[in-house]
Amino acid sequence: MVSRSMGLLLTFAAIAALLSPALSARFISLPTDHLPITAPPLADGLAFDLYSDSCPQLETIVRSAVQAALQQEIALAAGLLRIFFHDCFPQGCDASVLLSGPNSEQNEIPNQTLRQSALKLIEDIRAAVHSACGAKVSCADITTLATRDAVVA
């Protein structure tokens, strides 16, 4: 009987902690939209605005292309996220998963099912960015921006 009472007490304590804003903040991540946005510190050589001078329209080009594509095929968001994962997780973001050919990463078993329409979207964005800015923007950065915008959308 004592162990059952203790179990009920612990259950009620857990429920009270989750329902109490003061206690639940320790256990549940709450929205922070009301807090001011602050940029995290960056390592030397990194910048949030790397392309602000060389390609100021970069984010607009990427965002508008992603939004237009998502209007046609919402599953592109998942496709972009998967491409980003397969490119960046193993050895860092290098856009090597975008390369095609007989010995490319696209032919490796985990990558054979990457969404072709998402790969094409990245290629189309790359062409638009390079047309507007020259080849000053890396394909890995374009993939990262496109994925971010798809997830946000």
Binding residues for Ca(2+): 87, 92, 94, 96, 105
Annotated binding site: 87, 92, 94, 96, 105
Q: From residue 101, give the alpha-carbon distance in Å to each of 83, 91, 96, 109.
A: 17, 20, 11, 14
For residue 108, give the 3-state DSSP assignment: coil
Rounded distance between C-alpha atoms, residue 91 and residue 15, angstroms: 43
Give every CB contact of residue 145 below 8 A, 6+ residues apart in sequence. Answer: 58, 59, 62, 63
How far, in whole angstroms, is CA 10 from its chain's centroid? 38
Taking residue 124's Cβ as centre, other Cβ atoms within 10 Å add up to 13
- List the structure tokens of 128: 């638009």
Active site residue 34: no
Give every CB contact of residue 129 below 8 A, 6+ residues apart in sequence. Answer: 55, 58, 61, 62, 137, 142
> 86, 114, 140, 143: which one is catalytic?
86
**Residues recognised as catalytic:** 86
